[in-house]
Amino acid sequence: MVIEQQKLNDVLLLRPNVFNDERGYFFESFKKKIFEENGLELNFIQDNQVLSKDAGTLRGLHYQLNNPQGKLVHVVAGSIRDVIVDIRVGSPNFGESVMIHLDDKKHEMVYVPEGFAHGYLVLEKNTIVHYKCTNYYDQASEFGVFWKDKDLNIDWNIKEPILSKKDSNLPMLKNQKNLPILL
């Protein structure tokens, strides 16, 4: 597996060795030893899987404050435009983002560190996203940033995505009162 540091500190793109033959494919989607060899002592304690029926579905930008979650994101079926935003107060990269295309062809994964907002735009019908989390989901600790925040300058390449009511009403980053602080 090749691990590639992205432009935001600690955001990683993981490229597994995929073995294809006439039957299909095989790859190791997670191996703790590889993370440890790269200085990442992570303890994944919850797995989540999401089915999005329609292309154009946008989920995010979400984060947990008191119980932050690091996430290892993998697309099982379909494809997404994955977006990670550094929202840590005091970070030299505050408000900056990285966008990564993930699909079920290359099987690349992205590690989203704790303290970052995360979201994605679904590009194909019936896309399935699976992610491992370093903390349990805590609804009382969940917050978010509006996907179309002009200060973030994210080009999602969509005008009217399919949004949940919750995601439609998230605040702009400058109006968010609950942000993680970089120590």
CB within 8 A of 37, min separation 6: which ones? none
Q: Which of 63, 111, 120, 131 is catalytic?
A: 131
The SS3 assignment for 169 reads coil
Full-model pTM: 0.95
Q: Which of 62, 63, 101, 137 is catalytic?
A: 62
> Encoding tokens for residue 167?
């995601």
> Encoding tokens for residue 87?
């929202």
Widest distance between CA atoms in the chain: 53
**Residue 107 zone, left/alpha/beta (φ > 0; ψ -120 to 50; rest):** left
Express each pLDDT in 137-164 by its tens digit.
999 999 999 999 999 999 999 999 999 9
Q: What is the pLDDT of residue 39?
A: 85
Q: Determine whether 131 is an active site residue.
A: yes
Q: Where are the beta strands (DSSP E) in the chain?
A: 2-5, 12-15, 19-21, 24-26, 46-52, 58-64, 71-77, 79-86, 97-103, 109-112, 116-122, 127-133, 142-144
Express each pLDDT in 109-126 by its tens digit.
999 999 999 999 999 999
Express each pLDDT in 84-96 by its tens digit.
999 999 999 999 9
